[in-house]
Structure 1
């Protein structure tokens, strides 16, 4: 009986100790969990810290981290609430606005994302990453002229910018200047030969030029560097379709879907059966 009583007392102390964690304890725990990519525990720790001291000004950072953790978990609506709450504390926080803009893009709310990038550049007109991302977003929305303005400004700010070259190459492909795009991809590949995305971009330009053997070479290089990128398999499927090999193309698209590519879009590519 005596041992049972001692065990009960120890259990009570352990339980009370868990509930008595301080604000800083929860914050420290959240960083540990984030480093381990334990998103569920990180979310719990961050929420516990914010609830422990709701008026603490550091909560802006914690809510930002919480939003990012929730994005990792696929809880996009919760992530948006966390970013919104963080921006209520620090409404001019550029990093927060960029995070929310990226989330809006992920949620296919492009106009909202554009507004956040506009705010970032209103507060810091030389924010290079925001210029690059806003330029690409404008391109996606079909505003090629505005996209070019952002990318040319980025070039002016930083003539060595890889983002400026990649962004301009993407724009040139959309405007069917494939050879010019390839020249820009050549430049960034010489500087960063281990980046698979650059080979995918150049391979796509070769594909549109009907230089399928060249596209094959870039696809092979990209696969060696990052075999889990679904866009590589999508590009390879398009090349196979151009060669009238729909059966193998279907296998590549199935692989792309398993890696996160949109299933409906994959089906549309296969149904078209022609170069896209």
Structure 2
């Protein structure tokens, strides 16, 4: 019924009545995780494991909390333990697609893209009916991108897009595919994907910046400036002074006559967009934080707590 407060009170009472109730700690950990209280989720899942060392769901939950806290090595150990303890016919809080997808995500955060791809492949093979809910193709596309396989990445992003033709969730996948097209210098395809993303999430500033830089590459200087002005306005309204100034600097750089000098001033378009929970849920809501770029984990451009995506 989404009465989180009442649920938390009941879990607290259950633990008060029986401090050795492993399942209650696990369920409270799950609720903490859903509320983005990752430290609380870790502590409760850890306590659940202490009480019941053979509790696979608790290992999975602790792995999720560790992943959100940046302890990817610890997360991998927990996911692998959950795999060992989970029976083949398991039906519970998580499924095989989620488990292997999250394991791959943790590996990707450590730069093990080949290992991540193996895990994503296993997720797809073991649980094809549930894979659409785990963004596995998007994440495998990110791993492929990081290995320089842009065409393979585009194939995966396209598969993910096919799952969400009518929903806002596909904004992230259009952006990722657009960035991959950009690296293949297929600028027209990239612009088309950015256009799709803007139709879905038109208050997301970064996509205007990406499209503006791409428009400049095809000689559309006026369109590029228009997009960067839009990005600057959204950054300013969101309180992101650094990115607002960055957009203004890019606009100013377009007045330089030496194209090579301009390109040197323009930062590379981020490779892929994160796959963590998103706040870009409507087309009339400005992002509360700038997006995490590249992989769900690898933030090489802008740091934040919000990306575009739909995990959870």
TM-score by length of 1: 0.67
Q: Which runs of 5+ in 2 are unaligned?
A: 1-15, 89-94, 266-290, 295-299, 302-312
- Aligned 1:41-190 pairs, distance under 5 A: 41-55=40-54, 59-90=55-86, 93-125=96-128, 127-128=131-132, 129-154=135-160, 159-160=165-166, 162=170, 164-190=173-199
- Aligned 1:20-39 pairs, distance under 5 A: 20-34=19-33, 37-39=36-38
1:199 corresponds to which of 208, 225, 240: 208
Aligned-partner Cα distance in 2 for 1:164–1:37: 24
Which is richer in helix? Answer: 1
CA displacement at 1:164 relative to structure 2: 4.9
User: Which range is displaced more, 134-143 or 29-38?
Assistant: 29-38
CA RMSD of aligned residues (A): 3.8
Q: How many residues align?
A: 234
Structure label with greater radius of gyration: 1
CA displacement at 1:116 relative to structure 2: 0.9
CA displacement at 1:103 relative to structure 2: 1.3
Change (3 A) 1:196 1:100: farther
Match of 2:39 in 1: 40
User: Which range is displaced more, 116-125 or 43-52?
Assistant: 116-125
Aligned-partner Cα distance in 2 for 1:187–1:30: 38
Alpha-carbon deviations, 1:35-79, whole Å to 9, x = none?
554433332221111121223xxx322222211211232222212
Aligned-partner Cα distance in 1 for 2:243–2:84: 37
Alpha-carbon deviations, 1:168-191, whole Å to 9, x = none?
322221111223311221122123
Aligned-partner Cα distance in 2 for 1:233–1:137: 31
CA displacement at 1:122 relative to structure 2: 1.8
CA displacement at 1:207 relative to structure 2: 4.8
Larger RCO, structures 1/2 (Cα 8 Å, 6+ apart): 2
Alpha-carbon deviations, 1:106-138, whole Å to 9, x = none?
111111111111112222457342222222321
Q: Which runs of 5+ in 1 are unaligned?
A: 1-16, 250-258, 267-276
Match of 1:216 in 2: 228
CA displacement at 1:99 relative to structure 2: 0.9
Aligned-partner Cα distance in 1 for 2:28–2:160: 39
